[in-house]
Each structure stands twice: as C-alpha cells, then as structure tokens.
C-alpha cells in the first residue's frame, strides 16, 4: 500500500503570546513570555500567583452572549483557532467530501472550569441538585471537535485524544495517519485547554508541579 502525502494547509492559534498566527509568530521570534500574574481569580491564598493566561481575550468578541454561555473556555479556544486555520487553508468547504473530512482534537482535561463552578455552586446550596443543563456538554473533552464539526458540517472521524501534555501531539499524529492511509482527505486537528482555574492551579500546585517564583514570573522556564 502506498501512503499518501500529507501537507499542512492552514494554521490557527490562540495563545498566551498572541491571539492569532501572526501575533503568535511575532511573539516566538521576539522571545516574548506569556507568563504574568493571574487575573482570572483572587490568588491571595495561593502559593502560585502567575500563569500563562490569554491576554485581551473577551468571549463576546467572538461569540454572542447566549452562545458563549454554552461553551467552556477550552471549547471557545478550539472554535476560534480552528476557524482561523480553516480560513488560512483557503479550502473550498463546499467542494469537500464532508464524509471524508473530520476533526481530531486534543485536550488533557476539557471543561475543568465548568466542572469546578458547578460543583462549587452545588456545595454552597442546600443540597438541592440545581445544575446547569449545559453542565455535561460543556465539560466533556470530546465536545470541542463536536462543535467544530457541527459548525462546518464535517461528518468524518470525530474524537478527542486525551494523553496529558501529549494530547495535541497525539491528535496531530492521528490526523496524519488517517490521511496518509487514505481514510480521510482533510482533518482539522490541534488542541486546546483552559486549566488556569482555582481547581487547576490548586491541583497542580499541590503536586509541586508549578513554580512559586512569583517575584519574576516572566523568567520562569
């Protein structure tokens, strides 16, 4: 069997050093650090007070309020970066075989912030199970490729690779194999995470997996 040649046709990025490919690349070549004091929550009682948050990110710049409330941040990031990659590819989506076009997306945890908030809200109540009906759809790691496929009508393979820090790399490798083995023509692939949360930073901090060099976060490697 002759393996097919695989090429990257488009790129997209939403990162702590740039909110699109151009900004991200400029950040890389200029040695920009994405590390800075945490703004997502009060860190007064936390040993770790800095992280690589997205800068100047506002959900309503990309989604209307109703839609944004249905998406955990990790899924928002997936939709935004994949949209940029699809646009950058200049592929004519109307001419693609949608059954041979899929999405393989990496996420180590998924909707951690959604899980955290729902559990905290329940714990602060009187025991009555009042949960958001979007709790589970927002939380599951596999929702990101699902939203990408639904938006663009892709009906090929659709799943999330979950392998901790290697999740996105595994997604790209799976995408490569699907195409070179002839199972698909196009795969949208990458990964997203939104773990800078109370639970995420608290948990990794308890493992001693995070630096506590709070006085000089941009110099932590």
pLDDT in tens, 158-206: 999 999 999 999 999 999 999 999 999 999 999 999 999 999 999 999 9
Q: How many Å apart are CA 104 and CA 106, to the nearest integer?
A: 7
C-alpha 42 chain-centroid distance: 23
Query: What pLDDT sits at residue 110?
Result: 96
Query: What pLDDT sits at residue 217?
Result: 76
Tell me the pLDDT tens digit for each residue of 77-108: 999 999 999 999 999 999 999 999 999 999 99
Nearest to 142 by CA among 118, 119, 171: 171
Query: What pLDDT sits at residue 219?
Result: 66
Mean pLDDT of 14-20: 97
Tell me the pLDDT tens digit for each residue of 26-73: 999 999 999 999 999 999 999 999 999 999 999 999 999 999 999 999
* Contact between 195 and 109 (Cβ < 8 Å): yes
User: Domains of the chain (ranges plus CATH)?
Assistant: 21-32+54-195 (3.40.47.10)
Q: What's the whole-model pTM score?
A: 0.94
Distances in Å between the alpha carbon of 189 and those of 4, 26, 159, 199? 18, 22, 10, 27
Query: What pLDDT sits at residue 220?
Result: 57
Q: How many Å apart are CA 216 and CA 115, to the nearest integer?
A: 31
Distances in Å between the alpha carbon of 87 and those of 12, 83, 136, 139, 180? 9, 6, 30, 27, 23
Beta bridge partners of 51: 36
Contacts of 202 (CB under 8 A, 6+ apart): 46
């Amino acid at each position: 069997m002759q393996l097919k040649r695989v090429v990257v046709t488009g790129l997209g990025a939403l990162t702590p050093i740039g909110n699109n490919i151009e900004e991200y690349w400029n950040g890389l070549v200029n040695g920009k650090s994405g590390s800075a004091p945490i703004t997502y929550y009060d860190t007064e009682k936390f040993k770790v007070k800095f992280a690589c948050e997205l800068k100047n990110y506002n959900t309503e710049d990309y989604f209307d309020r109703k839609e944004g409330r249905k998406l955990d941040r990790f899924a928002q990031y997936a939709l935004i970066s994949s949209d940029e990659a699809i646009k950058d590819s200049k592929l004519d989506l109307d001419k693609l075989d949608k059954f041979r076009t899929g999405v393989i997306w990496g996420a180590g945890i998924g909707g951690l912030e959604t899980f955290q908030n729902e559990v905290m809200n329940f714990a602060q109540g009187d025991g009555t199970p009042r949960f958001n009906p979007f709790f589970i759809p927002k939380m599951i790691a596999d929702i990101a490729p699902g939203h990408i496929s639904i938006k663009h009508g892709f009906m090929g393979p659709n799943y999330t690779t979950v392998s901790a820090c290697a999740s996105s790399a595994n997604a790209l490798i799976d995408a490569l194999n699907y195409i070179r083995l002839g199972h698909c023509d196009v795969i949208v692939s990458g990964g997203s995470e939104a773990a800078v949360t109370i639970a995420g930073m608290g948990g990794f901090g308890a493992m001693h997996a995070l630096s506590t060099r709070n006085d000089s976060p941009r110099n932590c490697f």
